[in-house]
Amino acid sequence: MTFDLWMYVKAFAVGGALCAVGEALCLKTGWTPARILVGYILTGVALSAFGLYTPLVDFAGAGASVPLTGFGHSLCQGVIHAVQERGWIGAFCGGLTATAGGIAAAIFFGTIVAVFCKPHMKGK
């Protein structure tokens, strides 16, 4: 296994650009973070549906697959694959099947952090 600096540069540049766009939207538009997150997921779905997101993932690797646009891409690809395999019923289960590992990890690690860090409401 060789060290490929260019791979890391591409991932950092693309992932950083996606995060910078989100930060700019927060600062300049007054949109809530939740609205921006949903917009990122929908953007990933739309770009994936038109075949535009896969080349970005091929180019940037984790820089494109880890941000929320990558989650939308995974949902869309899961639905496409499930519809091809199972027919129309795949539209209801394919996205969750494709992203189940990431969702389960988020729930598991979120629970572990909550147990050990004693979360509380802001301002209390």
Give the Cα separation of 69 and 80 in Å (integer): 17
Residue of 61, 58, 70 whose CA lies nearest to 8: 61
The predicted pLDDT at position 112 comes to 92
pLDDT tens across 63-110, in order? 998 888 999 999 999 999 999 999 998 899 898 888 898 889 989 998
Residue 2 is given by DSSP the state -
Q: pTM of this prediction?
A: 0.78
Give the Cα separation of 122 and 29 in Å (integer): 24
What is the chain's mean pLDDT, rounded? 90
Q: How far is CA 87 from CA 5, 50, 72, 96, 109, in A?
A: 43, 20, 21, 16, 34
